[in-house]
Structure 1
Amino acid sequence: MIIRSLLDTDLYKFSMMQVVLHHYPAAQVEYRFKCRNPGIDLVPYIGEIRAELDALCSLRFSEDELAYLRSWRFIKSDFIDFLGLFQLNAKYVSIEPASSGNGEIEIRIVGPWLHTILFEVPLLAIVNEVYFRNAHPGLGLDEGRERLRDKIALLRDTPGYEGCRIADYGTRRRFSREWHAEVVEALRDGLGPKLAGTSNVWLAWKLGLTPLGTLAHEYLQAHQALGPRLRDSQVAALETWAKEYRGDLGIALSDVYGLNAFLRDFDMYFCKLFDGTRHDSGDPFAWGERVLAHYRANRVDPSSKVLVFSDGLDIPKVMQLYEHFRGRCLLAFGVGTNLTNDVGPTPLNIVIKMIRCNGQPVAKLSDSPGKNMCEDKAYVTYLRQVFEIPVPVEEGA
């Protein structure tokens, strides 16, 4: 059994789920799976993935787990009461071979947002672990341990980086549950205070670390279909978040419509209201410079704000970004696959993205076109017009 606790997921799933309970309990959504690696045949593992899904859907929150969640200052008592009754239901998930017959699989999650939001992270972790234990049976982890030791030593022992801290963001694409736990424990013991925490709630609880996370792309995407006119959807999402958390969890995600559209909406009010912003696509150096300039233009001291970097980082890239921006703002770095799936074989680049909400298409149009995912091309064209997003050269060719 791969997933053994409903806490074995990322913190932002719980923070978003509480907003859904309080503001959008009737919303209906659809998610779709995609493997971006070419030539990966996942069809032989469908039966195993379904079996792990059934095991996942047998789990309930224990009283100890609920008590841990209740200890967070931003979690409300009625949400804990709801989780005490909560159980995932496999009827909302379909797993089939893709019609193309090329080894790809189709995973679709369709149902109430409140009852499907917790599927994404554990399902991705299941697909990863099932694939690697079949494609690379008996793989030793000595190489992975050596690589991990080198990363820890590089960050810990290089002069001038005493204030550089990282966090584990690697649940979704980890090599395995056991390896993930070993990695985070090694980071805790090897880095000490240079490990800021982990996005994984289970490991944060068990290893005495700080759980980290705020919101994900699906939250802003869903607002495209949740009431306000489309052009106001990003503002509405940020307003609702601030209303729910009253100053807690104040990191805004900047790349659902690209940075230009984000900065148009992220006015002085939001600059002052939110603690910082998170980068997840495009050139991180250019992004950081533009965000700092935006704070200055809105009469906000950048040194009081956090820039969170989380897009495909490794330790050398973290150190380059730290060197470039330190002293000018507060910094945070979330490192994922490079920590939890760097053991030899090429990691899977797999995602589960929301594609519909309340029967309408929703989309992410980030500064990295390869991350975009929507089944309705006409809607994407309309979204570009509304948010004044140019068509990238590679898409328009």
Structure 2
Amino acid sequence: MEDQAGIIRSILDTDLYKFSTSYAYAKLFPRARGRFAFVDRANTIYPKGFASKVEEQLHKMTSLRLTDEEADFLNRECPYIPPFYIDYLRGYQFDPREVEVCQDEEGHLHITAEGLLYRITLWETPILAIVSELYYLVTGQEPDLEHVRKVTIEKAQIMKEHKLQVSLFGMRRRFSAEVEDTVTQLLKEHAGESLYGTSNVYYAMKHHLRVTGTHPHEWVQFHAAIYGYKMANYMAMEDWINVYDGDLGTVLTDTYTTDVFMQNFSKKHAMLFTSMRHDSGDPYAFVEKAIKRYEELKINPMLKYIVFSDSLTIPKAVEIKEYCASRIPATFGVGTNLTNDVGNDTVPRNIVMKLIGCQISPRQKWHHCIKLSDVEGKHIGDPEEIELAQRTLGIKQ
């Protein structure tokens, strides 16, 4: 079982986009509040008492503080995040009172986090990592570390052979922190320059890697609630540019379907954002849509690139790269297939935590936050609000 230090042992043990999005909320919407909800797509029945164990882990996180070494790393490697926000993180303390955890009579797990968005967004990835690792601990599943080493080196060699550019996006559904640490080290040793970096800020610091990331669905969801579905993508991009002035230039396309996004993707945005991220639906159809839009805007697709991140394996990444060859550059964010391929018939958790509600300030009413997708089964949120969004955007239901 886990020791007294807890599963999450550093404030930096999270994905970069949590800090970048938190700062963006703090700068532009400092009074905005949000509500996140845990979703288990596999409808797992968790062992009795599991919710209490999750709560114990959340309380252990209250002792975490940003160290001088960690602050120095952020200042050095993330110059787009200003010093005052890093000073804020020095004083930041996780508050478990912002989170409610329970199990129903059948054993399904329910988690919600509610509060100021610049604070509450920081709960998402640690909660998912905690649920994933705890599940394996409580059910007595152990990784085959020899298997982990063997398959990771094999994948690293394929990455190197095919000159893939891969970032590790593996925190949220990792088997454990130990496995993510091991995989990160092995990829660094064996993949060479094909390992572009990792989204996990702590392991980027520990292994001297580039820290990578994009903005999340929640940023577009929030803008939809405030500005309406037709303006969501446009305003989300405008505000991201206002905050980061061209840094962190990968734009997420599928919050309200890629087809809708392409209609909102202007010449200005196409010039300022370096890349689009594919996160659901047919990757090959996405390539055609991306190239078509760049060409419509009189931009050479070879000057841009696509970040593919939807349930990738390394062999699948090789196929996609070959399809894109000489048409548009491709890079890859690979997560669960790297940090939860541990043998012993272990099945990765199919879990997410999404923004389901927000208010621009405490005096304003709450709005539903929903996410559509290029895959119908991945829609998240209130069913009536999903229907309203589809009707507003002219999407077939």
Q: Give the TM interval when normalised to the shorter protein.
A: over 0.9
2:327 match: 328
Structure 2 match to 1:6: 11
The aligned residue for residue 144 of structure 1 is 148
Distance 1:166 1:341, change over 3 A: same
User: Partners of 2:283 and 2:31 in 1: how far apart?
Assistant: 37
In structure 1, what residue type is equivalent to 2:216?
A
**Contact map agreement 2:255 2:373 (CA 8 A) in 1:** yes
Which residue of the other structure, out of 110, 113, 116, is the alignment partner of 2:114? 110
Q: 2:86 aligns with which of 76, 80, 83?
A: 80
Write out aligned runs for 1:16-35 (5 A): 16-35=21-40
Mapped to 1, the partners of 2:181 and 2:75 lie a distance apart of 23
Q: List aligned pairs for 1:115-264, cutoff 5 A.
A: 115-157=119-161, 161=162, 163-226=163-226, 228-264=227-263
Residue type of the alignment partner of 2:350: N
Match for 1:53 among 58, 65, 73?
Answer: 58
Q: Which residue of structure 1 aligns with residue 99 of structure 2?
A: 93
Shift of 1:143: 2.2
Aligned to 1:387: 393
Q: How big is the shift at 1:41?
A: 2.0
Measured in 2, the distance between the counterparts of 1:361 and 1:38 equals 23
Gaps of 5+ in 2: 1-5, 360-365
1:139 positional shift: 4.4
SS of the aligned residue for 2:356 comes to: strand
| 1:15 maps to 2:20 | yes
Question: Does the 8 Å CA contact 2:47/2:138 hold for their aligned counterparts?
Answer: no
Match of 1:395 in 2: none
CA distance in 2, matches of 1:223, 1:324: 34
- Runs of 4+ with >6 A deviation: none
Equivalences, count: 383
Range with greater deviation from structure 2 (323-332 or 36-45): 36-45
Alpha-carbon distance, 1:40 to partner: 3.5
CA distance in 1, matches of 2:394, 2:189: 48
Amino acid at match of 2:108: E
In the alignment, the residues of structure 2 paired with residue 232 and residue 244 of structure 1 have an alpha-carbon distance, to the nearest angstrom, of 18
Contact 1:282 1:367 in 2 (8 A): yes
SS of the equivalent of 2:230 reads helix
Identity across matched positions, percent: 35
- C-alpha distance in structure 1 between counterparts of 2:281 and 2:143, whole Å: 34
Match status 1:362 vs 2:372: no
Shift of 1:138: 4.5
Deviation at 1:9, TM superposition (A): 0.3
For residues 99-120 of structure 1, give each alpha carbon's deviation from its aligned partner in whole angstroms, at most 9, with x where no partner exists.
Answer: xx22211001111111111101
3-state secondary structure, aligned to 1:5? coil
Local SS of the residue matching 2:231: helix
Q: State the distance in 2 between where 1:311 and 1:42 align.
A: 29
The corresponding residue for 1:394 is none
Q: Which amino acid aligns with 2:169?
A: Y
Query: 1:88 aligns to what SS in structure 2?
Result: coil
Q: Give per-residue Cα distances to partners, 1:162-196, cap 9 Å, x unaligned.
A: x3221100000000001100001000000010100
Contiguous gaps of at least 5 residues in structure 1: 392-397
Contact persistence 2:45–2:109 (CA under 8 A):
no
- Aligned to 2:251, the other structure's residue is in SS state strand
CA contact (8 A) 1:5 1:59 kept: yes
Q: Residue 25 of structure 1: CA displacement?
A: 0.9
1:309 paired with 2:308, answer yes
Asked if the contact 1:257–1:389 (Cα under 8 Å) also holds between the matched residues in 2, the reply is no
Residue 282 of structure 1: how far off its partner (Å): 0.2
Q: State the alpha-carbon separation in 2 of the partners of residues 139 and 331 from structure 1.
A: 32
Change beyond 3 A, Cα 1:141–1:325? same
1:265 aligns with 2:264: yes
**1:123, CA displacement in angstroms?**
0.7
